[in-house]
Chains A and B, each alone.
Chain A
């Protein structure tokens, strides 16, 4: 029966880790999208330096978790977010308001989808 308890403990650990992952990823995407939303508000006010600083901060937060994200998520999804960050930062440099707004909205949506992808919602489970 000892083996049975080991199996139960392993399953419980997997469930626990999965829940931690859902919470951690949700927290990270919320934090990063929050920074990006603030950056967009700054850009709309014409404060491009502030928008640049906030977007860089968001990119750094994302980059800090690179190992964790690459070992738990599909690489295609994380690579797309990396590319979107580069694009958004470039558009801030060019101060292209319309294109920046579109790119930033896409980036925020990508991050939210990434967070939602791991949620134990019926649509994901099925």
Chain B
């Protein structure tokens, strides 16, 4: 038991260090400690599950230890900026004012091909248009365009379009979501009216009915099965 505990802690910290040294690109959307937890937990659970000669507790102890360590690390990194920088790394600016920061690229082992691919994924074909491209600690690239390259917003055009707010689903696949209807301050009479307007006899014929904060309704009838 003690051996399992010690080995779990040692290997967990070692793998976190390994993931950190591998750089941001390997991390994906998880923090290093969360990624390590995800990598290890499935394997730990599988061993006592398959081998009946191994006591269940030898799988349970490492899993509970990992859970506690991951929780502690996430709490400590939330409180300490230094520890956060040490365990999760810090964002790196890889493009500044249209110029690629070669030193940052080298440090993060981020190639030009990968940079170009990430920019294309975000609809940017020319690096000259980029004010900042930041490689985040979770491995994702944030691209901020130069002011002149940013799309025109309604505010910049002096327009004041109505804000529809969050649309809420009232009918889902023929079922009425009464809570959503109530929360939006609507009732059965309003729903009947909407159904009549859309030439629908019953809620059962509706695939989806949305209504936004302005009362704008969007209704999709169920399609006949072919």
Q: Say whether A associates with B.
A: yes
Interface residues of A (CB under 8 A from B): 1, 3-4, 6-8, 10-11, 14-15, 17-19, 21-22, 70-76, 117-120, 124-125
Q: Does B49 sit within 8 A of A, measured CB to CB? A: no
Min Cβ gap B50→A in Å is 14
Contact (A14, B5) CB under 8 Å given A72-B57, A74-B54:
yes
Contact mask for chain B residues 65-81; partner A; CB cutoff 8 A; 1 contact, 0 none? 10111011001100000
Q: CA of A21 to CA of B64 in the docked complex: distance in angstroms? A: 17
* Pairwise interchain contact B2-A18, C-beta atoms closer than 8 A: yes
What is the number of contacts between chain A and chain B, taking CB atoms within 8 Å? 71
Q: CA of A1 to CA of B61 in the docked complex: distance in angstroms? A: 23
Q: Does B3 sit within 8 A of A, measured CB to CB? A: yes
Q: Does B7 sit within 8 A of A, measured CB to CB? A: yes
* Pairwise interchain contact A18-B71, C-beta atoms closer than 8 A: no
* Pairwise interchain contact B3-A124, C-beta atoms closer than 8 A: yes
* Pairwise interchain contact B3-A14, C-beta atoms closer than 8 A: no
CB neighbors of A among B52-97 (8 A) = 52-58, 61, 64-65, 67-69, 71-72, 75-76
* Pairwise interchain contact A14-B55, C-beta atoms closer than 8 A: no
- The count of residues in chain B whose C-beta lies closer than 8 Å to any C-beta of chain A is 24
Q: CA of A17 to CA of B7 in the docked complex: distance in angstroms? A: 16
Q: CA of A16 to CA of B64 in the docked complex: distance in angstroms? A: 14
Min Cβ gap B56→A in Å is 7
Q: CA of A91 to CA of B70 in the docked complex: distance in angstroms? A: 53
Please indicate the chain B residues that have their CB under 8 angstroms from the CB of A11 in the complex: 65, 68-69, 72
Contact (A4, B72) CB under 8 Å given A14-B61, A71-B56, A74-B53:
yes
Contact (A1, B5) CB under 8 Å given A70-B55, A74-B54:
no
Min Cβ gap B63→A in Å is 11
